[in-house]
Amino acid sequence: MRLPFHLRMCITVQEASIAAVAVGNEATCRLGLIAPGKFHQNGFHPTGIFGTFGSIYAAARCLSFSATMTMDAIGIGGSLSSALMASWEDGSAAKSLHAGFSALSAVNAAFCARNGVTGPRGVFDGRFGFFKAHVQDKSYHFDFDRATDRLGDLWEALQIAPKAYPCGHYIQPLIDAALALRAEYRITPDQVVSISCWVPAYVIPLVAEPLAEKRRPRTSFHGRFSLHHSMAEAMMHGTLDKKSFHPRNMTDARFNALADKVQAFVDPSMTDRSQLGGRVEIELKGSRKVTSTVNHMRGMPQNPMTPDDILRKFRSNVGDLMPDSKSDRIVDIIMSLDRMSDLEPLMVELS
């Protein structure tokens, strides 16, 4: 919807920024619904490839692009959007650049379009379009209608789930289940005989295979996408935070011994991709078994993180980078961003 001119003039920079983020997030989510699950399967990281387009929509909003300029920028983005999952194989750090490179590609695409560079109109659904190029399955039906279904009334961005832990999101519900058992039964690592995890079938190739690789990740990044090592970290310390996954932990015999006790199984009942959950059974010495099930990953709308949870995570992440007084100022600014008259205070604090 395009607002009347006199109303558009009343929108503050802050409101425009918030609206741009909302538009970009929504576009990213909706593009991901056209072929759910097909990108991981073909070796592409959705965050990196769809993030480029979402960021372009946000940039176009901030720069007050016309529809034509926006289409050009999106078309250019199709040539700049790339995020291979090769880092999942060897644990290299390139994956951590995907979100940032998406933003960089978006800025480049936007400024190219503003300077007259044109982009293909069939970037998504053309013969050589983005989806056909990445999925390369002639029999697959792309559901392009999902990109615009109830647009403006149904907000897919509200389904976004923040992570509670610094590891792959498919592992998150299993960590919650294991930590709940550890706390309830006061489990120590030496008591553990085995840790069995039931997950959806599509999760297995991402976090549990190849088995040898997942039990002995080569780098910190590798460990974050290993169900086996992540469970070992959580069971060893009773938490999973920014101090976890230290490189020395990859070769520590205590972590390796726990990782060897982790097994992953397919739960055939877990077929709903909108319901990311899992079940954990820990066998203890003496043949005692305890079980915990998390139906929805913490952070999802059905099991939300509270604002306090998010703030605690932020403060924990920046605690050794800046004094509490500075992080408190950043929190205060962000929580009142919609009522501020200028973005400069936030930029000053972030710089």
340: confidence class by pLDDT, cuts 50, 70, 90: confident
User: Stretch 102-131: mean pLDDT, rounded?
Assistant: 96
The CATH number of 172-294, from 3.30.1330.120, 3.30.9.100, 3.40.190.10, 3.30.70.980, is 3.30.1330.120
Task: Give the pLDDT of residue 37.
Answer: 85
User: Stretch 239-244: mean pLDDT, rounded?
Assistant: 93
DSSP-assigned states of every residue in 216-276: S-SSHHHHHT-HHHHHHHHHHHS--STTSS-GGGGG-HHHHHHHTTEEEEE-TT---TT--
Which CATH code for domain 5-159? 1.10.4100.10
Of the listed ranges 12-21, 121-130, 195-204, the least confidently predicted one is 12-21
User: Stretch 145-168: mean pLDDT, rounded?
Assistant: 92
Task: Give the pLDDT of residue 4.
Answer: 42
Say what percent of the chain tops pLDDT 70.
97
81-92 burial: b if 16+ Cβ within 10 Å, else e:
bebebebbeebe
pLDDT digits (tens, 9 = 90+) for 246-288: 999 999 999 999 999 999 999 998 888 778 899 999 999 999 9
Task: Give the pLDDT of residue 11.
Answer: 58
User: What residue ranges do the domains of the chain occupy?
Assistant: 5-159, 172-294, 314-350
Rounded distance, CA 259 to CA 253, Å? 10
Task: Give the pLDDT of residue 315.
Answer: 93
What pTM did the predictor assign? 0.81
* Cβ-based neighbours of 227, under 8 Å, separated by 6 or more: 170, 171, 174, 197, 199, 207, 208, 214, 262, 264
Is 80 exceeded by the pLDDT of residue 7?
Answer: no
pLDDT digits (tens, 9 = 90+) for 31-43: 999 999 899 889 9
Is 90 exceeded by the pLDDT of residue 126?
Answer: yes
Domains 5-159 and 172-294 alike in fold: no
Is 70 exceeded by the pLDDT of residue 62?
Answer: yes
